[in-house]
Amino acid sequence: MSGIITKFGTPEPVAFKEKGCDTEFAARISGALYINEYDGTACGGNLPAFAAEKIEEHLAKWNKDDKLLGVDGKETLELMLNYDLMEAGVSGSSRIDDITITEETNELYQEQIMKPYREAKQEAREKAIEAAVEPHGPLTEVSYILSSHGMMAGSSSSSSQKVKWNSDGTVIYSTHSSGGGSSTEFEYKITPEMAKKVNDYVADKRLAALAKMDIPTAVMFDNFTSSCINMTFDDSSIGGDKYNSVCLNCGPAGLTFKTIEDGLYELFEECSKTGECIKNETTQMDDGPFANFNRMIQMNMMGVTVPDPLDGMKKAQEEAFNAAVESTKSSASTPSASTNGKWTCKCGMENAGKFCANCGEPKPAGWVCSCGTVNTGKFCYNCGQPRN
């Protein structure tokens, strides 16, 4: 047999200990086996039971390793089960879906194992950040930029919020957003106290040092909103660049650096509330061929009934067709055929342009057959002659 996928789970909670801790914990573990080739007799003829048995064996010796079940358990057990399958002569791989510490032992596990682990991890992170700190001159600009990558064509949008320290001593907070067919800009003159808050936040959170560290961010998908924090320092006073730009790439907004992003956003909100508005400008723009379509969808989502633009096209086509048919019913409205392209309006005036020179009536839609009939299709309604 080949191409087998079978799920497994430990029938009862499995006891285990972590290295350096004498407390016995228990966990339920479940997953799946992906078998490429299987003759039905390997692993005792029962793949789920084989996987559960091997899990129990590995957990019985878990405290011999430096791995923590609540942190590294999935990846480690998968590798162990893959080796077990190979030893049993089975071609395939494993996947651990869930590791659940039992309710009876979970509180102890969090206090004795996970809490010290998180504290040690945070301490190591703090040391790494301190090691990445570099000297900088005055902060002259900090901005928070969001870019929305929509799944629909033309549905992307962007926004930016920025605080800039000008050479004349003023500090300006500005916002810019674009999308949905419009672009909006605001500017606020903020107080020295507010400007200091923003400056202190960048320094206290050591954003420039974080930008220099190799911190993995979450995977980006097409319909996610990505974010970044840009900072500019005047390092000329320490022998550096007057416009030293540093970028902290946050990846998908609100995931890797959620606390930092939220804090900066709140500061910018305070800038707009306490500052003096000196600019408020909205500009309509063309988002491309899908602009009207996307705006229609956005308005419908907000509960605003918007007519289908195709309805207008259909109506115009129907009106043109009806006008052409009506023109064939009346000799007064039937243009005469002519080699010079002239046509006769129903008021009697002969014209060469698109509108009647006498009454302003538009030239009938369609084409004029040699018999004098106005048509919109490929063949004449009157004599059947094909369009020339």
Look up the pTM and report it. 0.55
**What is the H or E stretch that residue 367 is in?**
strand 367-368
The CATH number of the structural domain formed by 139-298 is 3.30.1560
Check residue 335 and give its pLDDT. Answer: 43
Measured at the alpha carbon of residue 43, what is the angle toward residues 40 and 48, in degrees to the nearest 5? 90
Query: How far is Cα of residue 20 from the mean position of the Cα atoms in its chain?
Result: 44
**Contact present, 228 and 159 (Cβ < 8 Å):** no
CATH topology of domain 2-129: Tetrahydropterin Synthase; Chain A (3.30.479)
CA-CA distance, 386 to 388, in Å (whole number)?
A: 6
**Contact present, 226 and 150 (Cβ < 8 Å):** no
Check residue 309 and give its pLDDT. Answer: 47
Measured at the alpha carbon of residue 30, what is the angle toward residues 25 and 31, in degrees to the nearest 5? 140
171-191 pLDDT tens trace: 999 999 987 677 899 999 999
Check residue 306 and give its pLDDT. Answer: 44
**What angle, rounded to 10 degrees, do the helices at 69-87 and 47-60 form?**
130
Residues of the chain short of pLDDT 70, as ranges, are 1-2, 149-156, 180, 220-223, 285-341, 365, 374-377, 381, 388
**Buried residues in 215-254 as b, exposed as e (16+ CB within 10 A):** beeeeeeeebbbbbbbbbbbbeeeeeeeebebebebbbbb
**Buried residues in 338-355 as b, exposed as e (16+ CB within 10 A):** eeeeebbbbeeeebeeee
Residue 115 exposure: Cα atoms within 13 Å on the Cβ side: 7
To which residue do tokens 């043109």 refer?
320
Check residue 225 and give its pLDDT. Answer: 83
DSSP string of 374-387?
Answer: EESSSB-TTT-PBP
- On the question of a common fold for 2-129 and 139-298, the answer reads no
To which residue do tokens 């102890």 refer?
108
Nearest residue to 77 (alpha-carbon basis) of 27, 39, 149? 27
Segments making up each domain of the chain, as ranges? 2-129, 139-298, 311-375
3-state secondary structure of 36: strand
CA-CA distance, 144 to 156, in Å (whole number)?
A: 17
